[in-house]
């Protein structure tokens, strides 16, 4: 299977590392062509749901994270030189810290000692005994409020009883016993609802030292213990409490749409950074689900008061907006804000009209809907039909088009490319009014599995990268030419994620591309490749904006870089985001071309205040703080803030 998936991805990514040294369409004479080189990064692909970028530990280097439903995800800490190490368990994000490695996996743990092993494998629950020299009976009980089917029972005697402890709930009691005289046994179970806690109880005659839980083979402290997983979907990183360290909120699934039947299951988790790790601080915050299916969490300053709100978009359910109260708890203000009845689709936040109030765009099945923000109150506007939405009910990871945002034409307004495999849409922003266009009018791909805006060559003109058609380079006339760079096979990927970020702090945006090949769709095993951008030789400027304590990441702030020729490059903190369901990429990227030093960098804050850095030095990461000078990370001051 792994070999098949790799072959499919190599076919899909043909040309990713071939690198087109010259003669590509759209290449300008005398300029260095865009080149990429593959570098090793291990991203866990089984059951991948989303992927994103964040400075998760606040060290100034960008990290990679994924969400993988109930399977083990990746949290890869970057060192600022393009190297990554997995710190998921080390930082305390294991789904059940008592049993790290309990998460579902594509591969079984290696069993090289005697004992009873309980682990999850490809959505199944495995109880495996390997005791060639056993001197005791092995028996136990499993109790779970979910139907369970026995897939395999080799060497085990089993008995199942079912009851109904509450409406819409089925309790399964499974008694299991290793057949006397049998040294080995394998019991394979398929829970219908894997997120429902599973209560084990072994007989006291079974030594605790013989029981091993999960991939890390942790031994339980008691003969009775619970195993519990969450169906994690979206992660939202931000320093919401103003202590200078990034925290993370995680929205989990709705127990296959039945979370209302299980009020004891928390769909929300809030982790605060403490020292070198993260600590679960959900208790007492009043972050309570509404019985729906949460997908897309996002931190944002809705009303410009320099205090972050938390929005959780629900697919096939109502969304929620939480406001932080002075006591550190959250208040549900969804109805007051006018967001109680958002349409079903894929959502994204951006500033639609340049007033620095975050507005909500939903790419729905039949239409594009904008929830325009006016000082914290939202009103619904229909932008036009989504005529290319996928019909029927395909899997949710490819049902709705993903919006990608950029002021690609340099008029100061944020435009939108909505990728869809059935047909993409370009939404032009004309001073806060919108016009829907066919992308190929501008030379952009008419279809895409996913897409992202990126100035891949730092020439100051945003390009578009799409899967599978690769990089489309923008001309000075704001038309696009297909280059063939990063292109792959047209029919191999059924879903994809592409994350553009500067992994090695050299000013060029590198890319992590993850795809679900068609032949691996049933197994849900994704493949990923990381490609380092070898640079174009153009000048550049990266900007990290630091806000006040209530919004330290300055989410929603507008940054404008004025070039020496008078052109203005406009971006917003948060629009570098490439994930579908998550949030965390707050660094901004500006290609300066051959112009070198820009005239100024101005910041318009979410509360309406404005600052400007004059004559900033190029080719560096500049930190812009309110009332502070713009400076590079650890370098001298450059320019003055007024």
The Cα 559–Cα 543 span in angstroms is 9
The residues, any chain, with a CB within 8 Å of residue 83's CB and separated by 6 or more, are none
Last residue of a domain, one of 201, 227, 253: 227
pLDDT value at residue 388? 59
Mark whether 57 and 140 lie in a shared domain: no
Higher pLDDT pick, 126 / 389? 126
Cα–Cα distances in Å, from 71 out to 95, 195, 284, 295, 377?
9, 11, 27, 17, 38
Higher pLDDT pick, 192 / 29? 192
> Residues 217-243: what's their mean pLDDT?
95
Mark whether 311 and 437 lie in a shared domain: yes
Is 448 part of a structural domain of the chain?
Answer: yes
DSSP 541: E
- Rg over CA atoms, the chain: 26
Give the other-Cβ count within 10 Å of 314's Cβ: 22
> Residues 273-301: what's their mean pLDDT?
90
The Cα 468–Cα 489 span in angstroms is 6
Is 28 part of a structural domain of the chain?
Answer: no
> Residues 78-93: what's their mean pLDDT?
96
Mark whether 471 and 504 lie in a shared domain: yes
The Cα 614–Cα 641 span in angstroms is 7
Burial track 181-198 (b if 16+ CB lie within 10 A, e otherwise): eeeebbbbbebebbbbbb
Mark whether 357 and 234 lie in a shared domain: yes
**Which CATH number covers residue 168?**
2.60.40
Mark whether 543 and 526 lie in a shared domain: no
Last residue of a domain, one of 533, 550, 580: 533
Mark whether 476 and 594 lie in a shared domain: no
DSSP 412: S
pTM given for the model: 0.92
How many domains are there within the chain? 3
Last residue of a domain, one of 475, 508, 533: 533
Q: Which residue segment(s) compose the domain that 206 sits in? A: 115-227
Look at phi and psi of residue 221 and say left if phi exceeds 0, alpha if psi is from -120 to 50, else beta: alpha
Mark whether 544 and 587 lie in a shared domain: yes
Among candidate residues 562, 582, 558, the one with its CA nearest the CA of residue 572: 558
Mark whether 549 and 619 lie in a shared domain: yes
Q: Which segment of 21-25, 420-424, 451-455, 536-540 scores lowest on mean pLDDT?
A: 21-25
Mark whether 250 and 383 lie in a shared domain: yes
CA 35 to chain centroid, in Å, comes to 26
The Cα 584–Cα 56 span in angstroms is 8
Give the other-Cβ count within 10 Å of 396's Cβ: 17
Residue 17 has pLDDT above 60, yes or no: no
pLDDT value at residue 522? 86
At 398, is the secondary structure helix, strand, or coil?
helix
Is 568 part of a structural domain of the chain?
Answer: yes
Is 7 part of a structural domain of the chain?
Answer: no
Mark whether 45 and 91 lie in a shared domain: yes
**pLDDT category, 27, cuts 50, 70, 90?**
low
> Residues 167-179: what's their mean pLDDT?
95
Mark whether 326 and 234 lie in a shared domain: yes
> Residues 285-307: what's their mean pLDDT?
92
Mark whether 374 and 390 lie in a shared domain: yes
The residues, any chain, with a CB within 8 Å of residue 78's CB and separated by 6 or more, are 61, 62, 63, 64, 84, 503
The Cα 109–Cα 216 span in angstroms is 8
């Amino acid at each position: 299977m792994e070999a098949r998936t790799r072959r499919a991805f190599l076919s899909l990514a043909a040309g990713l590392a071939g690198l087109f040294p010259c003669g590509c369409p759209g290449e300008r004479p005398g300029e260095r062509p865009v080149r990429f080189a593959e570098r090793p990064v291990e991203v866990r692909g089984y059951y991948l749901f989303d992927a994103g970028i964040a400075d998760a530990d606040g060290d100034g280097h960008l990290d990679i994270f994924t969400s993988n439903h109930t399977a083990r995800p990746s949290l890869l800490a970057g060192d600022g030189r393009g190297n990554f190490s997995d710190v998921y368990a080390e930082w305390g994000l294991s789904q059940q810290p008592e049993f790290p490695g309990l998460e579902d996996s594509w591969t079984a743990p290696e069993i090289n000692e005697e004992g009873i092993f309980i682990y999850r494998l490809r959505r199944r629950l495995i109880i495996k005994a390997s005791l060639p020299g056993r001197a005791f009976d092995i028996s136990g009980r499993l109790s779970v409020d979910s139907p369970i089917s026995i897939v395999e029972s080799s060497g085990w005697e089993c008995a199942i009883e079912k009851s109904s402890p509450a409406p819409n709930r089925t309790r399964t009691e499974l008694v299991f016993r290793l057949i006397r005289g049998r040294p080995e046994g394998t019991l394979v179970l398929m829970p219908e609802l894997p997120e429902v806690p599973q209560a084990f109880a072994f007989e006291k005659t079974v030594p605790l030292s013989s029981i091993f839980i999960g991939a890390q083979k942790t031994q339980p402290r008691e003969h009775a213990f619970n195993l519990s997983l969450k169906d994690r979907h979206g992660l939202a990183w931000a320093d919401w409490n103003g202590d200078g360290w990034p925290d993370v909120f995680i929205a989990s699934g709705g127990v296959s749409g039945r979370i209302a039947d299980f009020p004891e299951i928390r769909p929300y988790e809030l982790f605060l950074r403490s020292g070198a790790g993260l600590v679960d601080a959900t208790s007492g915050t009043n972050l309570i689900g509404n019985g729906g299916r949460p997908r897309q969490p996002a931190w944002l300053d809705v009303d410009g008061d320099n205090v972050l709100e938390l929005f959780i978009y629900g697919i096939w359910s109502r969304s929620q907006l939480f406001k932080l109260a002075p006591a550190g708890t959250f208040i549900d203000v969804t109805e007051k804000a006018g967001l109680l009845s958002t349409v079903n689709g894929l959502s994204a936040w951006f500033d639609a009209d340049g007033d620095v109030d975050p507005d909500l765009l939903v790419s729905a099945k039949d239409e594009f809907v904008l929830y325009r923000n006016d000082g914290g109150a939202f009103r619904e506007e229909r932008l036009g039909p989504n005529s290319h939405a996928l019909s029927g009910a395909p899997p949710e990871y490819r049902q709705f088009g993903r919006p990608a945002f950029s002021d690609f034409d340099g008029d100061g307004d944020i435009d939108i490319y909505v990728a869809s495999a059935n047909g993409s849409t370009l939404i032009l922003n004309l001073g806060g009014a919108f016009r829907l266009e066919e992308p190929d009018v501008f030379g952009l791909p008419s279809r895409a599995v996913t897409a992202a805006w990126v100035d891949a060559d730092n020439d100051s003109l945003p390009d578009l990268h799409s899967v599978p058609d690769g990089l489309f380079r923008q001309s000075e006339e704001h038309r696009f030419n297909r280059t063939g760079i990063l292109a792959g096979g047209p029919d191999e990927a059924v879903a994809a994620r592409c994350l553009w970020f500067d992994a090695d702090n050299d000013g060029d945006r590198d890319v992590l591309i993850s795809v679900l090949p068609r032949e691996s769709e049933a197994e849900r095993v994704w493949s990923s490749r990381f490609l380092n951008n070898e640079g174009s030789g153009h000048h550049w400027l990266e900007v990290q904006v630091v806000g006040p304590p209530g919004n330290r990441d300055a989410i929603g702030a507008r940054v404008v870089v004025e070039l020496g020729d008078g052109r203005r490059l406009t971006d917003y903190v948060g629009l570098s985001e490439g994930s579908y369901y998550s949030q965390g990429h707050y660094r901004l990227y500006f290609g300066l071309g051959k112009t070198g030093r820009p005239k100024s960098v101005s910041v318009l804050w979410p509360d309406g205040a404005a600052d400007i850095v004059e004559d900033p030095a190029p080719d560096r990461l500049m930190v812009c703080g309110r009332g502070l000078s713009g400076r590079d990370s650890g370098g001298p001051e450059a320019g003055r803030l007024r």
